[in-house]
Amino acid sequence: MRETNLHALRTPLYERHRLIRARMADVGGWDLPIAYGSQIEEHHTVREDAAMFDVSHMCALDVRGTDARAFLGRLLANDIGKLKSPGKALYSCMLNREGGVIDDLVVYYLSDECFRIVLNAQAASRDIDWMRTQIVESGCSVTLVPRRQDLVTDDVEALAMIAVQGPNAREKVFRAMPSTRAADKVKPFNSCFVHDAVVGALMLARTGKTGEDGFEITMLAKHAVHVWDALRSSGICAAGFHAWDTLRLEAGMHVPGRDMGPQTSPFDVGLGWSVDLGEKRDFVGKAALQARAQASQLVGLAFEGSGAVARTQSPVMSLEGEVIGKVTSGTYSPTLQMAIALALVSPDIKLGSSVSVEVYSKRVSAKVVRPPFVRDGSPVGKR
């Protein structure tokens, strides 16, 4: 049965997905491909070779103005001052006044008066409303320019995004579109613009959420089909969001709304490294963040001798039966061939501890481990 919503939004590549018989479903209000065939095969293709994802539902947002740097310095928990060269990227959380996570995002330095932020799809409209409130409160002179097709204004062209991920991703992109080879020297968590004779400007960012190397490629939405066809013609297969979810969970990547949210601080979910508490800077939520105690920790769970997948909100218990936390994301790991999960548990639980999780009314044993489960296609440590 086709799991869809007649009112869901569609990306510029919707017809291409239908053409190759993708299984479509409603993903956060977007009609997106969840698999084109076997999601296990798509997962392994990313780990062993390369595959591509349509991520045009993510929202590229340009922050423009003479006060852009000052505004982002106040808005983000990480220090925008670290971005000193065009193309450099920064990961950060955007916090509420209580120090809770509104969203996590990546910001790219394009120029002193223009930064590009990539917002998570479902949170984009809410994020933009919050940012507009902060513009008023800060008195900064900046303009927010959403570039997603459902949010653009009449005088702005929409963008689309395709993520090509895997150990062979970059070389396959270069072969598919020779103009992109200008990005050969781009380092991880950096980006650059290249010019293609057919589609014009392309932004290639060496980022992604699969735990593999590759590019997130941004282009004008009207050229998305051409780029997609060029990549497919060169042998890069398409992968859907079921594979994306197993890949990101193996890589220990967070999803807002599941693994973190307004009630959790970055320190509660293992993202303290992305917070800069330097004395000379202030940001929304800093004072509250410094005052609050760590309420939880985000850990990995490796299930022992069971293929049963824990559902979100499944209770995590000590061996004595005390509830010590809850599962935030669970899946079957195709790479490890075992069930894994991320869970928010008490901050005093030690790595290596044995716990149990309630899975379909049964208690299943699991080991507490540090994410990620997989790095560069290989298991991390002994699970």
Q: What single letter denotes the amino acid at residue 32?
A: L
Tell me, what's the pLDDT at 300?
A: 97
Q: How far apart are CA 43 and CA 35, in angstroms?
A: 10
**Cβ contacts of residue 255 below 8 Å, gap of 6+?**
120, 248, 329
Domain region containing 92: 1-251+282-292
Residue type, 237: C
Give kind and range of the element (H or E) at residue 163: strand 159-165
Do residue 286 and residue 315 come from a single domain? Answer: no
Same domain, 247 and 313: no
Q: What angle do CA 108, 27, 239 make, to 5 degrees?
A: 75
Does residue 317 sit in the same domain as residue 348? yes
Determine the Cα–Cα distance for residues 52 and 383; give it in Å rounded to an integer: 29
On whether both 286 and 310 belong to a single domain, the answer is no
Cβ–Cβ < 8 Å for 50, 214: yes
Contacts of 145 by beta carbon, 8 Å cutoff, 6+ apart: 61, 62, 63, 64, 153, 156
Whole-number pLDDT of residue 6: 64
Greatest CA separation for the chain: 65
pLDDT at position 307: 72
Residue 168 CB neighbour total at 10 angstroms: 19
Q: Which CATH number belongs to the domain containing residue 327 in this structure?
A: 2.40.30.110
DSSP 259: T
Q: Any known ligand binding at 216? A: yes
- In this predicted structure, what is the pLDDT of residue 2? 47
Q: Are residues 286 and 304 in the same domain?
A: no
State whether 196 and 306 are in the same domain.
no
**Is residue 176 domain-resident?**
yes
Distance separating alpha carbons of residues 158 and 223, to the nearest angstrom: 10
Per-residue pLDDT of the chain (383 residues; tens, 9 = 90+): 345 566 799 999 999 999 999 999 999 999 999 999 999 999 999 999 999 999 999 999 999 999 999 999 999 999 999 999 999 999 999 999 999 999 999 999 999 999 999 999 999 999 999 999 999 999 999 999 999 999 998 899 999 999 999 999 999 999 999 999 999 999 999 999 999 999 999 999 999 999 999 999 999 999 999 999 999 999 999 999 999 999 999 999 999 999 999 999 999 999 999 999 999 999 999 999 999 999 999 999 999 876 789 999 999 999 999 999 999 999 999 999 999 999 999 999 999 999 999 998 889 999 999 999 998 888 886 54
Last residue of a domain, one of 238, 263, 292: 292
Kindly state the tokens that stand for 41.
Answer: 């095969």
Q: Report the chain's C-alpha Rg in angstroms.
A: 21
Cα–Cα nearest to 333, from 51, 34, 43, 36: 43
**Rounded CA gap, 253 and 218, in Å?**
21
DSSP structure class, residue 2: -
Report which DSSP code applies to 180.
G
Q: In terms of domains, do 146 and 235 share one?
A: yes
Question: What domain count does the chain have?
Answer: 2
Q: Do 65 and 1 lie in a common domain? A: yes
**Which tokens belong to 242?**
């079921």
Q: Please indicate, yes or no, whether residues 118 and 37 belong to a single structural domain of this protein.
A: yes
Residue where a domain stops, chosen among 292, 325, 359: 292
Distance of alpha carbon 53 from alpha carbon 61, whole angstroms: 20
